[in-house]
Amino acid sequence: MTKRHPTDASVRSDVEQFCGLVELLKKRHYIAKQLCEDEQTRSLTQKTANVFFSVVVDTLIDHFFLEVAKLSDSARSTIGKCENFTIANILETVDWPPTVLEELRKLNESICEFRGCIKPARDKLLAHYDKETVSLGTPLGSFRPGEDRKVMDVLEQMCELMHKTSAGVTYAMPSSGGRCVSDLKDAMRKALAFNKLFAQSKGEEQRRLLQCLNDVDRDLAGPHA
Protein backbone atom coordinates (compact mmCIF):
# COMPACT_ATOMS: atom_id res chain seq x y z
CA MET A 1 0.00 0.00 0.00
CA THR A 2 1.33 3.44 -0.96
CA LYS A 3 1.08 5.77 1.97
CA ARG A 4 0.07 9.39 1.54
CA HIS A 5 2.49 12.22 2.18
CA PRO A 6 1.60 14.28 5.28
CA THR A 7 1.14 17.43 3.16
CA ASP A 8 -1.23 15.80 0.65
CA ALA A 9 -4.61 17.53 0.42
CA SER A 10 -6.41 14.37 1.53
CA VAL A 11 -4.24 14.11 4.65
CA ARG A 12 -4.74 17.78 5.52
CA SER A 13 -8.47 17.23 5.14
CA ASP A 14 -8.41 14.15 7.40
CA VAL A 15 -6.36 15.99 10.02
CA GLU A 16 -8.77 18.94 9.96
CA GLN A 17 -11.68 16.54 10.42
CA PHE A 18 -9.89 14.78 13.27
CA CYS A 19 -9.06 18.06 15.02
CA GLY A 20 -12.66 19.21 14.59
CA LEU A 21 -13.95 16.05 16.27
CA VAL A 22 -11.51 16.47 19.15
CA GLU A 23 -12.48 20.13 19.53
CA LEU A 24 -16.18 19.22 19.74
CA LEU A 25 -15.42 16.43 22.20
CA LYS A 26 -13.39 18.85 24.33
CA LYS A 27 -16.31 21.29 24.54
CA ARG A 28 -18.76 18.58 25.54
CA HIS A 29 -16.32 17.06 28.03
CA TYR A 30 -15.81 20.50 29.59
CA ILE A 31 -19.57 21.04 29.92
CA ALA A 32 -20.06 17.62 31.53
CA LYS A 33 -17.24 18.20 34.02
CA GLN A 34 -18.56 21.64 34.96
CA LEU A 35 -22.09 20.36 35.45
CA CYS A 36 -21.15 17.39 37.63
CA GLU A 37 -17.93 18.45 39.38
CA ASP A 38 -18.13 22.20 40.01
CA GLU A 39 -19.87 22.55 43.38
CA GLN A 40 -21.65 25.86 42.66
CA THR A 41 -22.85 24.69 39.24
CA ARG A 42 -24.09 21.40 40.66
CA SER A 43 -26.01 23.26 43.38
CA LEU A 44 -27.59 25.55 40.79
CA THR A 45 -28.69 22.67 38.56
CA GLN A 46 -30.17 20.81 41.51
CA LYS A 47 -32.20 23.85 42.56
CA THR A 48 -33.50 24.66 39.08
CA ALA A 49 -33.98 21.53 36.96
CA ASN A 50 -32.30 18.59 38.67
CA VAL A 51 -33.78 15.77 36.57
CA PHE A 52 -33.14 17.59 33.29
CA PHE A 53 -29.48 18.26 34.08
CA SER A 54 -28.98 14.71 35.34
CA VAL A 55 -30.12 13.45 31.94
CA VAL A 56 -27.85 15.95 30.17
CA VAL A 57 -24.80 14.89 32.18
CA ASP A 58 -25.48 11.17 31.65
CA THR A 59 -25.89 11.77 27.92
CA LEU A 60 -22.64 13.74 27.69
CA ILE A 61 -20.73 11.05 29.60
CA ASP A 62 -22.09 8.33 27.32
CA HIS A 63 -21.15 10.46 24.33
CA PHE A 64 -17.60 10.85 25.66
CA PHE A 65 -17.21 7.07 26.01
CA LEU A 66 -18.56 6.46 22.51
CA GLU A 67 -16.44 9.11 20.83
CA VAL A 68 -13.18 7.96 22.41
CA ALA A 69 -14.04 4.36 21.55
CA LYS A 70 -14.80 5.28 17.93
CA LEU A 71 -11.62 7.30 17.51
CA SER A 72 -9.56 4.45 18.96
CA ASP A 73 -11.16 1.69 16.87
CA SER A 74 -9.09 -0.33 14.41
CA ALA A 75 -7.98 1.08 11.06
CA ARG A 76 -10.45 -1.14 9.22
CA SER A 77 -13.70 -2.84 10.11
CA THR A 78 -13.63 -6.59 10.57
CA ILE A 79 -16.67 -7.04 8.34
CA GLY A 80 -16.26 -5.73 4.81
CA LYS A 81 -12.75 -4.43 5.46
CA CYS A 82 -13.97 -0.85 5.10
CA GLU A 83 -11.66 1.86 6.38
CA ASN A 84 -12.56 3.51 9.68
CA PHE A 85 -11.91 7.16 10.45
CA THR A 86 -9.70 6.46 13.45
CA ILE A 87 -6.33 7.30 14.96
CA ALA A 88 -5.03 3.90 13.87
CA ASN A 89 -6.10 4.56 10.29
CA ILE A 90 -4.44 7.98 10.20
CA LEU A 91 -1.21 6.48 11.53
CA GLU A 92 -1.35 3.58 9.09
CA THR A 93 -2.22 5.43 5.87
CA VAL A 94 0.11 8.43 6.19
CA ASP A 95 3.88 8.40 5.71
CA TRP A 96 4.63 10.41 8.83
CA PRO A 97 8.27 11.38 9.50
CA PRO A 98 9.86 8.77 11.82
CA THR A 99 10.11 11.11 14.83
CA VAL A 100 6.49 12.24 14.40
CA LEU A 101 5.24 8.67 13.99
CA GLU A 102 7.11 7.58 17.11
CA GLU A 103 5.54 10.39 19.14
CA LEU A 104 2.05 9.70 17.77
CA ARG A 105 2.39 6.03 18.65
CA LYS A 106 3.42 6.89 22.21
CA LEU A 107 0.43 9.18 22.56
CA ASN A 108 -1.83 6.52 21.11
CA GLU A 109 -0.70 4.06 23.78
CA SER A 110 -2.39 6.25 26.40
CA ILE A 111 -5.57 6.35 24.33
CA CYS A 112 -5.55 2.57 23.94
CA GLU A 113 -5.04 2.12 27.68
CA PHE A 114 -8.10 4.23 28.42
CA ARG A 115 -9.99 2.41 25.66
CA GLY A 116 -9.44 -0.83 27.57
CA CYS A 117 -11.35 0.66 30.52
CA ILE A 118 -14.36 1.94 28.58
CA LYS A 119 -14.68 -0.67 25.81
CA PRO A 120 -16.81 -3.08 27.91
CA ALA A 121 -19.31 -0.26 28.50
CA ARG A 122 -19.34 0.62 24.78
CA ASP A 123 -19.76 -3.01 23.71
CA LYS A 124 -22.36 -4.12 26.26
CA LEU A 125 -24.35 -1.01 27.17
CA LEU A 126 -23.82 1.92 24.81
CA ALA A 127 -23.54 0.39 21.33
CA HIS A 128 -26.14 -2.25 22.17
CA TYR A 129 -27.71 -3.84 25.24
CA ASP A 130 -26.13 -7.09 26.37
CA LYS A 131 -28.94 -8.96 28.10
CA GLU A 132 -26.88 -10.42 30.96
CA THR A 133 -25.19 -7.08 31.68
CA VAL A 134 -28.52 -5.24 31.74
CA SER A 135 -30.23 -7.92 33.83
CA LEU A 136 -27.49 -7.97 36.45
CA GLY A 137 -27.01 -4.20 36.46
CA THR A 138 -23.28 -4.69 36.05
CA PRO A 139 -21.34 -1.38 36.27
CA LEU A 140 -18.97 -0.94 33.34
CA GLY A 141 -16.62 1.76 32.06
CA SER A 142 -14.91 2.74 35.32
CA PHE A 143 -11.50 4.43 35.26
CA ARG A 144 -9.20 6.23 37.67
CA PRO A 145 -10.10 9.83 38.52
CA GLY A 146 -8.46 12.26 36.12
CA GLU A 147 -7.90 9.71 33.35
CA ASP A 148 -10.57 11.34 31.18
CA ARG A 149 -8.79 14.70 31.38
CA LYS A 150 -5.52 12.98 30.53
CA VAL A 151 -7.11 11.46 27.43
CA MET A 152 -8.33 14.88 26.29
CA ASP A 153 -4.83 16.29 26.78
CA VAL A 154 -3.35 13.46 24.72
CA LEU A 155 -5.89 13.96 21.92
CA GLU A 156 -5.02 17.66 21.83
CA GLN A 157 -1.32 16.84 21.61
CA MET A 158 -2.08 14.54 18.68
CA CYS A 159 -3.98 17.34 16.97
CA GLU A 160 -1.11 19.78 17.45
CA LEU A 161 1.48 17.33 16.10
CA MET A 162 -0.57 16.13 13.14
CA HIS A 163 -1.70 19.61 12.14
CA LYS A 164 1.76 21.13 12.48
CA THR A 165 3.23 18.35 10.33
CA SER A 166 0.57 18.39 7.61
CA ALA A 167 -0.39 22.08 7.45
CA GLY A 168 2.70 23.75 8.89
CA VAL A 169 0.77 25.50 11.67
CA THR A 170 -0.63 24.42 15.01
CA TYR A 171 -4.38 23.82 15.20
CA ALA A 172 -6.16 26.67 17.00
CA MET A 173 -7.78 24.56 19.72
CA PRO A 174 -10.03 26.57 22.09
CA SER A 175 -8.81 26.70 25.68
CA SER A 176 -12.12 25.45 27.11
CA GLY A 177 -15.79 25.06 26.37
CA GLY A 178 -16.25 28.81 26.07
CA ARG A 179 -18.76 30.84 28.05
CA CYS A 180 -21.63 28.39 27.65
CA VAL A 181 -21.51 27.11 31.24
CA SER A 182 -20.81 30.50 32.83
CA ASP A 183 -23.71 32.03 30.86
CA LEU A 184 -25.95 29.17 32.01
CA LYS A 185 -24.91 29.66 35.63
CA ASP A 186 -25.64 33.38 35.38
CA ALA A 187 -29.11 32.69 33.95
CA MET A 188 -29.89 30.13 36.69
CA ARG A 189 -28.72 32.51 39.43
CA LYS A 190 -31.02 35.21 38.08
CA ALA A 191 -33.90 32.73 37.84
CA LEU A 192 -33.47 31.76 41.49
CA ALA A 193 -33.29 35.44 42.45
CA PHE A 194 -36.50 36.13 40.51
CA ASN A 195 -38.27 33.25 42.27
CA LYS A 196 -37.21 34.63 45.64
CA LEU A 197 -38.40 38.13 44.75
CA PHE A 198 -41.69 36.79 43.42
CA ALA A 199 -42.33 34.74 46.57
CA GLN A 200 -41.72 37.83 48.72
CA SER A 201 -43.67 40.31 46.55
CA LYS A 202 -47.25 41.55 46.90
CA GLY A 203 -49.60 43.91 45.15
CA GLU A 204 -48.09 46.20 42.53
CA GLU A 205 -44.60 44.68 42.86
CA GLN A 206 -45.97 41.21 42.15
CA ARG A 207 -47.97 42.50 39.18
CA ARG A 208 -44.79 44.11 37.81
CA LEU A 209 -42.90 40.83 38.09
CA LEU A 210 -45.74 38.97 36.39
CA GLN A 211 -45.65 41.54 33.60
CA CYS A 212 -41.91 40.84 33.20
CA LEU A 213 -42.74 37.15 32.81
CA ASN A 214 -45.43 37.93 30.24
CA ASP A 215 -42.97 40.13 28.34
CA VAL A 216 -40.45 37.28 28.24
CA ASP A 217 -43.12 34.85 27.02
CA ARG A 218 -44.14 37.31 24.29
CA ASP A 219 -40.51 37.80 23.20
CA LEU A 220 -39.96 34.06 23.05
CA ALA A 221 -43.13 33.53 21.03
CA GLY A 222 -41.86 35.92 18.35
CA PRO A 223 -43.52 38.73 16.41
CA HIS A 224 -46.12 36.50 14.71
CA ALA A 225 -47.46 34.82 17.85
pLDDT in tens, the chain (225 residues): 689 999 999 999 999 999 999 999 999 999 999 999 889 999 999 999 999 999 999 999 999 999 999 999 999 988 767 999 999 999 999 999 999 999 999 999 999 999 999 999 999 998 889 999 999 998 888 888 899 999 999 999 999 999 999 999 999 888 776 688 889 999 999 999 999 999 999 999 999 999 999 999 998 887 765
**Residue 161: what pLDDT?**
97
**CA pair distance 149, 35, nearest whole angstrom:** 15
153, 10 in Cβ contact below 8 A?
Answer: no
Distances (CA, A) of 198 to 21, 69, 205, 210: 44, 48, 8, 8
Rg (CA), the chain: 23
Mention every residue, 6+ apart, whose C-beta is less than 8 A from residue 148.
29, 64, 114
User: What does the pLDDT read at residue 223?
Assistant: 72
Q: What is the pLDDT of residue 188?
A: 94
pLDDT for 192: 95
Instruction: Tell me the CA distances in angstroms from 221 to 112, 211, 225, one per residue in order.
Output: 49, 15, 6
| Whole-number Å distance between alpha carbons of 112 and 118 | 10
Break the chain into its structural domains and give their ranges: 9-174, 179-225
